Structure 1
């Protein structure tokens, strides 16, 4: 089987030493329309560096964020995913490499500049075109200096109503789990280091023998792999989508409804404060795109999209006092502490967890909250206590995006002349809640086995919640004058584009304020292609 990009695959039988195979070009690839944001051209007419990815290719990757599905599909594109946290796993995309800290590319969705496209349901995307060189990004000026991603969503096609439903379920797991030293190995190496440097020994030979045999009192000689105790071996995600499309010669429509849920990697522990101890992400997507031919030369299109994103996380070990900060930065601290605490550092009694018995709950809040400052240092925390008593945070992000387009052909003036007006309105509102719990820590006296409460710490109910709310609106008006004409074997196209954009943001913590911050810009662009 022989294949090459832009050509039909061909299967041949090898006979002899010399092989001469001619591949036929794919007509579909030659005639494919490439969208560069403001205009479109046939692939055969494009000389600029533009790569295209179809929506069908995006659906082959079982990922929850579209940006991650581009890995390996575009030559020269660097896809860097720095976190796998549910709902915050957008990959950084670099078309020309990471030449600076802000070398991110411009994003255009259906002709309007947007901040991200990762949370668009992949079932809504028709194609993604990546503009790489100065020729393809010239119309965008300095904004396109790091390349441009042009995302086109699906349109309705003439024909009877077509209903499609898709559903997928995924099982996730870490590519590699850290290998943690046992209590005996860790204590032995600590003792060896102390003897080499002349420091007082933490553990006696009898202590090391107890760690090695594993028969000692679990309160004094624990052997706890905190990472394994807190983190699941695997977790789940699921995604469903329903689309309805079709239309007549004059009216075409496409609608999409999507749902996605991704669970986190922490185990679900029962907590007296009654909140989930594993992070999660849930998203609902909606899109409706309707195109109407008002006359033979006039077309009006409405493109409405919306999504609701719910991000949840235990607060864990975070210094942030706002919901968004706690959701995006709290859980790593729990993982970090779990990996740093030696297996002999703190005991963990599984028989006390996930109980409804008040007496057992009391034991859980005591014996599973030991920090052992005398052994592990004053900055130690108990990761299980952090997870089950630290509190939680969530954010709800509601996004509405709309584009209204009116196109008029002016062939009555001269063939190939047309004008188009496009108005886009986007509105985003984010709200969140953060509620911390009170954690009581205990120190252990290894001689008497007495537990002493750490000063200033105590197990209690939630403190006062913290709420945030912020908003963002943007209006975008574009006016196009286009001319495209073919003369025998020669093609000429010219574009004059004017764009006016107004952005406004309401201040956080002032959900009902009428005043905000506004930014406006006016851009005029022109291009001629022969």
Structure 2
């Protein structure tokens, strides 16, 4: 598979997508898009023709990618970030936890964290059901995001929710039920292997063995479950699988003058902890979500329309009183032989070194419920001003959002007891406490967004104009912090001649109160040019060419990473000073880090060149982009600083870095008789480079971070393992005394010493290649889809207690991979250094020895469905009945075998799911 992954990556590189649409979508005028169609229907060719005709009418130039509801529904997930994984070119997602309700993904668009907007307002809800979403669009280049001004440099993700259409009431009901399992779990050693390896580690460290031959026999034979326990803690307190269910109902329709869409959704995701059914409370990790959405459009008159959108969400969380993360951390830190789960009398086992019994943490520590409530309402009025001039309109928009989270603590402490032997009283550690009953508001946020806009859309002869001017203000209050304001004035205008030659310009004058007066506002312009070659006479007769458009854009964007009013000098309470012959403590003040009142936002010069093409009556579509973004005036602390100052240095606009790369998307849809089929594939290559970061002078060029990729890892270069004491004695002098089996490092400067002067670039944790491929097939009511997703040129660092043996002051766990350690007998095959108790000063250095390939290829989602023939469904008064089974994260191919390559460092493992569903429309 290691050889196969690069080949698959190269093949996938030939397939990716970048259509073009402007931020005008947030004003209710979506513009043209090359839409990724993930469902297959017999009339798919007709649908794509209509799509491309719509695209040619708008003739926009921005670089975007989009995915719509049918594709999102094929991925089982509680949050939309997971639904778009592998579907959008240039968007990399990474999930670091499978904890129910806390399993959001990190999003990186062309290497940066994008701004998320819902229905045009910068307000993100990660947990949304797919039925409420019409489309998710990523806005990539400066032209697409120019109207976001000071928050445009990292790109944006625009979520557009469903709208009603004039028709009779259409009802849809969707039910899903399934099970989920961890994708991978740590492989710990049993008590016998642990004790044997522990003895070996102590001998390696020059100490005597801790376990006698009799101890080893007791562990191996299981003859003394109290004095020599062997507790598989994962099996003891964790379930092999947990339940997942979701129920969704929607109604939409409308008549003369109104349209509506209403959706209700319920989701329940159980955790992986076993629960004591005899107790009146639930101590398992648990997540329940309730969502209601209502979108209403009204035609007040022929020229005046109104929109009112409402969103409400309640999220109920639960976890054991000791917390999910603490329990899973304890499992990683507790050997099977540490103590028995229960003593002979049924009390909780424990001892001086282990006073927090894992069994007790799950079953006897109480529980911690919490709930979060969101509410958002946005309303708009749009007035057509054709009486003034044809194509002129005005619009106003107001959006309010409120979020509150309350955390309740109903945990309790418990005692553990050490069995000291027959006729000897148990030794008690800790005390049994009363159940805590407290609550606190942990988060309370309020957002207010207002906007007025004026637009103009008109064709005059051979010319077509599309213009928009927007004035807005984003008002945000987080908890007890002072309010942050983001005011802005922006505009966008495009002109096309004969629908062949296009020029588009956009700009925003916007700011942020994160900065001192005089440094708060700036101008962020962008311009684009396009040429529709397929409209030229010399290509009009090329029957197989449906569309060929070249486009290019350039602009300056902004990014606001500033801290909370940190342009104001702060002073902290001092610890006190003593005065006089009789010391008297007097409290004083100490200066916080120095401020830089002249700092401003970060900026980016963004170049994008691309083309869109369609062939064979639009059955085959291809989009490609090249981008080169230079981010400058990045806020960072001077590397050439000195502690002599006595205070911390402020952030300054010093840094520069480059993000460049290629994106490609290919879509093909067709049918042959009753068989319909399609493929939608994408890939993106990203290269980053630090251009300047004011780093200290480096003794050697290989130590410099400037010129390296952003986020580059630095450490020592491993040169295998020492095979003999002579080998260690004649090598460059390392950190301490080394022995055979320790890691050998390269002496890069040949000075005979291993120290900081020998550190260099050793890997990068962000992938340089991301790709995805969605395959679909349909035949006589059956439909099959499969999403494959992967990353390449990505590294994983396997350091710390999740991979190393006997951490936690020598009392920690040990893993199966530790058995591949160096010994004189395994010297030629060992893949792990000699084992030690606790931290080995030489082997624990960050080095290339611990850097592994993080490439992976994953079957992200697969679904098989069957739609009952209409003549049957009509007999039971239903428009459509569809049954389906769906799998998520089912298979993963990766050279990394120690854990799941995506969530390799997660305490709560990522989940794979299988579920069955029913969809009814009536």
Q: Which residue of the partner structure matches residue 331 of structure 1?
A: 324
**In 2, Cα distance between equivalents of 1:440 and 1:278:** 21
Equivalence for 1:307 = 313
**How do residues 121-136 of structure 1 correspond to structure 2 at under 5 angstroms?**
121-136=129-144
- Residue number in structure 1 paired with 2:469: 496
Report the CA distance between 1:32 and its aligned residue.
5.2
- Asked whether the 8 Å contact 2:380–2:398 carries over to 1, the reply is yes
TM-score under structure 1 length normalisation: 0.81
Q: Who is 1:231 aligned against?
A: 238
Note if 1:222 corresponds to 2:253: no
Q: Deviations over 1:391-438 (max 9, x none)?
A: 322221111111111001111111111100111111222222112201
Q: Which moved more, 1:229-238 or 1:441-450?
A: 441-450
**Mapping of residues 31-430 of structure 1, within 5 Å:** 31=53, 45-97=59-111, 103-114=112-123, 116-214=124-222, 216-269=223-276, 274-316=280-322, 330-349=323-342, 363-364=345-346, 366=347, 369-373=348-352, 378=353, 381-430=356-405
Query: How far off is 1:200 after superposition?
Result: 3.8
Contact 2:37-2:67 at 8 Å conserved across structures:
no
Distance 1:270 1:460 in 2: 22
Paired residues in the alignment total 459
1:270–1:388 CA contact under 8 A, matched in 2? no
Cα displacement string for residues 348-398 of structure 1 (whole angstroms, at most 9, x for unaligned residues)? 24xx9xxxxxxx9xx43x2xx22233xxxx366321112223232222111
Out of 193-202 and 285-294, give the one that drifted further.
Answer: 193-202
Aligned to 2:494: 529
Distance across 2 between alignment mates of 1:472 and 1:314 = 27
Q: Indicate the residue corresponding to 1:475 in structure 2.
A: 448
The structure-2 alpha-carbon separation of the partners of 1:502 and 1:176, relative to structure 1 and needing over 3 Å to count, comes to closer
- Give the number of the structure whose residues are more often helix, by fraction: 1
On the 8 A contact 1:271/1:388 being kept in 2, the answer is: no
Q: Would the aligned equivalents of 2:408 and 2:437 in 1 still touch at CA under 8 Å? A: no
Q: Secondary structure at the match of 1:138?
A: helix
Deviation at 1:473, TM superposition (A): 2.3
CA 1:144–1:4: 2 relative to 1, 3 Å: closer
For residues 28 and 4 of structure 1, what CA distance do their matches in structure 2 show? 21
**Residue pair 1:476, 1:500 contacting (<8 A) in 2 also:** yes
Contact 1:226/1:339 (CA < 8 Å) preserved in 2? Answer: no
Q: In 2, distance between residues paired with 1:372 and 1:394?
A: 30
Give how far 1:131 is off.
0.2
**Partner SS, residue 314 of structure 1:** coil
Post-superposition offset of 1:244: 0.8
Alpha-carbon distance in structure 2 between the residues aligned to 1:92 and 1:203 = 46
Q: Distance in 1 between matches of 2:437 and 2:357?
A: 23
The Cα of 1:489 is off from its aligned counterpart by 4.7
C-alpha distance 195-470 of structure 1, shift in aligned 2 (>3 A): closer
Distance 1:334 1:489, change over 3 A: farther
Structure 1 residues 213 and 506, CA gap change in structure 2 (3 angstroms): closer
Per-residue displacement from partner, 1:251-294 (whole Å, max 9, x unpaired)? 1111111111100011113576x532211111111111111111
Shift of 1:91: 0.7
Give 3-state SS (helix, strand or coil) of 2:179's partner.
strand
Match of 1:17 in 2: none
Give the drift of 1:182.
1.4
CA RMSD in angstroms, aligned pairs only: 2.7
* In 1, Cα distance between equivalents of 2:233 and 2:174: 39
Quote the offset at 1:130 in angstroms. 0.5
Q: CA deviation at 1:74?
A: 0.4
**Cα displacement (A) at 1:24:** 9.3
- 8 Å CA contact retained: 2:78, 2:128: no
SS, match of residue 398 in structure 2? strand
Contact 1:8 1:25 (C-alpha < 8 Å) held by counterparts: no
Is 1:27–2:49 an aligned residue pair? yes
**What CA distance in whole angstroms lies between the structure 2 residues aligned with 1:395 and 1:32?**
47
Larger RCO (CA within 8 A; separation ≥ 6): 2
Checking the alignment, whether the CA contact within 8 Å between 2:273 and 2:362 is kept in structure 1 is no
TM-score norm. by structure 2 comes to 0.47
Whole-angstrom CA distance in 1 between matches of 2:419 and 2:286:
35
* Paired position in structure 2 for 1:327: none
- Which residue in 2 is equivalent to 1:513? none
Q: How far, CA to CA, are the matches of 1:260 and 1:31 in structure 2? A: 39
Unpaired runs of 5+ residues, structure 1, are 10-22, 34-41, 98-102, 317-329, 353-359, 508-515
Contact 2:291 2:314 in 1 (8 A): yes
- For residues 50 and 222 of structure 1, what CA distance do their matches in structure 2 show? 59
Q: Secondary structure at the match of 1:142?
A: helix
Q: Distance in 2 between matches of 1:199 and 1:449?
A: 31
- 1:450 shift after superposition: 4.6
CA offsets, 1:137-189, max 9 Å, x none? 11111202111111111111111100110011121111122222111111111
CA displacement, residues 206-234 of structure 1 (integer Å, 9 cap, x when unaligned): 121122122x1211121111112111111
Q: Report if the CA contact (8 A) 2:72-2:83 is conserved.
A: yes
Q: Residue 517 of structure 1: CA displacement?
A: 3.7
CA contact 1:283–1:307 (8 Å) conserved in 2: yes
Instruction: Give yes or no for contact 2:65–2:139 (8 Å, CA) kept in 1.
Output: yes
Shift of 1:315: 3.2
